[in-house]
Amino acid sequence: MDVRPNSGKLQTLTIRRALVRLIGLCLVVLSAGHRLYGQSCAMCYTTVAGGGKPVIHALQGGIIVLLIPPVLLFSGLTILLFRWRTSSSSQAY
């Protein structure tokens, strides 16, 4: 006997609401992309363009190195929050 009536409906509504929010966020990000191309620094562009292939390669490597810590932090926090949420929801019943 299930103590929680309509628990399937509540879970479906929560998932549906989360999907609608995710789709809305994706649409906002995709629609704002055309404005991002104009945000480059003119001095940086001329320095890299004048340096040639080695400077371009070094800049691309630097971008990757600077991207690693935020990605690791975000991934770790996401995994931590997911585990916390699943452990607290399993203890509630």
Q: Which two tokens stand for residue 28?
A: 């906002």
Distances (CA, A) of 61 to 8, 35, 72, 74: 48, 25, 17, 21
The span from the CA of 93 to the CA of 88, in Å, is: 9
Mean pLDDT of the chain: 78
- Rounded to two decimals, the pTM is 0.45
The number of beta carbons lying within 10 Å of the beta carbon of residue 51 is: 13
29, 40 in Cβ contact below 8 A?
Answer: no
Q: Note the pLDDT of residue 69.
A: 92
User: What's the pLDDT tens digit per position in 24-75?
Assistant: 888 888 777 666 665 567 787 788 888 888 888 888 888 889 989 999 999 9
